[in-house]
């Protein structure tokens, strides 16, 4: 298993944010430093296999997670989880979620994704 050195050239999801730097990428794990501008958010999405674990470094951010009904369908409810400095916030595979900058300045967070094959399944807004 080989890791990719820190780079801005690593493959990434098809959306644009203020900053994204790949720290490590293997077939099973991805670690990315992400920056969101004020008011910016990642698109609503889910992963089939990997969990997302985010650690806020600077600024203010929250992870928003959509609720699901007994059949696994989105129920329209959104839970907002504050990203606390250095504390992990984990989103399990299959949960529709996004990260939102809730502050007036940029925010940076470290995103750890794994273990398993990465995918990015965009959800409706």
Confidence band, pLDDT 50/70/90 cuts, at residue 74: low
Give the Cα separation of 15 and 31 in Å (integer). Answer: 17
pLDDT of 1 > 60? The answer is no
The 3-state DSSP class for residue 14 equals coil
- Evaluate the omega torsion of the peptide bond into residue 115 and state whether it is cis, within 30 degrees of 0: yes
What's the CATH class of domain 21-122?
mainly beta
Is the pTM higher than 0.75? The answer reads: yes
pLDDT by residue (tens digit) across 6-40? 334 444 567 899 999 999 999 999 999 999 999 99
Measure Cα distances from 69 to 49, 75, 95, 109, 123 in Å: 20, 6, 12, 30, 16
Report domain extents, the chain: 21-122
- Give pLDDT, residue 9: 42
């Amino acid at each position: 298993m080989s890791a990719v050195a820190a780079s801005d050239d690593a493959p990434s999801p098809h959306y644009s944010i203020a900053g994204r730097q790949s720290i490590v990428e293997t077939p099973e794990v991805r670690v990315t430093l992400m920056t969101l501008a004020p008011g910016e958010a990642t698109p609503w999405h889910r992963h089939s296999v990997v969990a997302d674990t985010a650690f806020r470094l600077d600024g203010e951010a929250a992870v928003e997670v959509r609720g699901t009904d007994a059949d696994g369908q989105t129920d329209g409810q959104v839970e907002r989880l504050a990203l606390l400095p250095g504390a992990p916030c984990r989103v399990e595979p299959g949960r529709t979620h996004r990260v939102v900058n809730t502050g007036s300045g940029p925010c940076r967070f470290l995103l750890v994704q794994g273990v398993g094959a990465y995918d990015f399944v965009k959800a409706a807004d």
